[in-house]
Amino acid sequence: MKHIVKILAVVVAISASWLGLLQTSIVSQDYTWLLPIYFIVSLGCYGLFMVGIGLMQFPTCPQEALLLQEDILEAKDFLKQRGVDVGSD
């Protein structure tokens, strides 16, 4: 619930500043109407950037991969004992 309140507070703050820019003539009105589109595009670019950074920093865990392979073999043996066809090795 707290996260929703934070998001709503940010949306209200951005909307209030946008409406303030619309009411004043600090920024040309032609550009002011495009600010929400710029904001959405910027948010999308930021999200893609963060996903890319996360993928580049994703750790490789060779020991965990070996443990996972052992668990898979153990599960296959268990299922074969129960009569389940688990495919070829």
Contact indicator for 14, 39 with CB cutoff of 8 Å? yes
Distance between CA atoms of residues 52 and 50, nearest Å: 5
CB–CB of 76/86 below 8 Å?
yes
- pLDDT on residue 89: 56
pLDDT at 1: 67
Q: Compute the average pLDDT of residues 74-80.
A: 92
Q: Where is average pLDDT lowest: 10-14, 26-30, 67-71?
A: 26-30
Q: CA-to-CA distance for 13 and 55, rounded, in angstroms?
A: 32
Each residue of 52-64: pLDDT tens digit?
998 888 888 888 8
**Pairwise CA distance, residues 33 & 56, whole Å:** 36
Q: Which amino acid is at 82?
A: R
> For the residues 42-55, what does the mean pLDDT come to?
91
67 pLDDT exceeds 90? yes
